[in-house]
Structures are given as C-alpha cells and as structure tokens.
Chain A
C-alpha cells in the first residue's frame, strides 16, 4: 500500500530564504508525482508535475526533483516571499491503471516579512 510522508510538518522562515520541502513514498512504481499548494479553506493549486521518467521540473522560483528509485522528491523554493505562505502537498499517482493520487499530510509554510 502506497504511503506518502512529508517533512517537516511545519516550517517558519524569514523572507528571502531558500528552502527545501521533502516528500517520500514507499512504492517506487509511480506514474507521476505532483506538488500542490493549498491556501487555508481553499482548493489545491497545481504547482509542478514530474513524470516518472523525469528527474526535475522548474517553474519560476520553484524546482521539484524526483528520485524514483529511492522514493523521494524535493520542492525547492528560492528567495521565499510572504505570499508563499501556504500548505504544500505532494501526491503520487500509481502505475498499472491505478490513476488515483495518494497525498501526504503536507508542510505548512510560513514566510515572515
């Protein structure tokens, strides 16, 4: 059974810092991995999608890497801003016709001005 773990559970940093959020998963047979952002009381906003054959994806100040064999992904946020404050969730999408996403519990990020 696929399990997804995210550490740390919460993180508070001063504005301008570079930071890394971690995601690990127990079954490396995944189709893709997606990082999401969630603001309080809102739905999820897709940030980056990494296919199982890819090693990383970049969008603006965000960079996500994937090491499928070790069951790990990281989300790197450069030059953090107060507007980055949110919960960041990673989700893996399984192979063999199981297209459901399994989520971690998220990392709550607070960027202090």
Chain B
C-alpha cells in the first residue's frame, strides 16, 4: 500500500491555459473521487468513479472540467480554459470502505 499519489503537487498556469492532473489510487480500491478545496472550506465533491465508470458529477463541474479513469486504474482531471476562480487545491481519494486522500495538487491561475 503506497497510498494515493497525485501529480503534480503544484501548478501555476496562465488564465486560459489547459491543465491536467493525475491521481494514482491505492491499487485494490475500486472507488475514486475528485474534490476541490478552497481556503477555510471543507472539500467539495466534484466527481466519483466506480472502476472505470463515472457514476456521479457535481454541478460544480462545468463543461470546462473533464475526468477520466481508463481501465479503472489511474485517473486524470483536466480543466480547459482555466479561470482565476479555478485556483484551489484539487484532492483525489480512493476507497474500498475507508477513504484515503492524496496530498493534493495546488492550482494557481494567474
């Protein structure tokens, strides 16, 4: 069990650019989640996968956001045409029962 791994840890991008984040879950976990967290707030749910199927998406996830989990293993979260309001910590978690979170990717849009 190597834990949930997220890359990159930090990303600074110019407004309008596209960014992609990667999450490698704990290998035997079939559920994978993406959350977004801003300063002083709890994590907000973005989307959830059971194996390779994306079962739920939050209304927070606009058309500029897309997530994939090919083959039910790692997952990617892409944000197109980034806006300053996208600046946040993006957290990935995986679970079989108990949820384990990665260290997050901090996105700064300038």
- B42-A100 in contact (CB<8A): no
For this complex, into which size category does the number of interface residues on chain B fall? 20 to 34
- B97-A101 in contact (CB<8A): no
Chain B interface mostly helix, strand, loop or mixed?
strand
Given A44-B91, A105-B41, A100 and B33 touching (CB < 8 A)?
A: yes
Q: Which residues of A contact B103 (CB under 8 A)?
A: 42-43
Chain A interface mostly helix, strand, loop or mixed?
strand
Does chain B have a CB within 8 A of A71?
A: no
B52 CB, nearest partner CB in chain A, Å:
15
Given A36-B101, A49-B98, A100-B33, A43 and B42 touching (CB < 8 A)?
A: no
- B98-A89 in contact (CB<8A): no
Contact surface of B with A, Cβ cutoff 8 Å: 4, 6, 31, 33, 35, 40-45, 48, 50, 55-56, 91, 93, 95, 97-104, 106
Contact surface of A with B, Cβ cutoff 8 Å: 4, 32, 34, 36, 41-46, 49, 89, 91, 93, 97-106
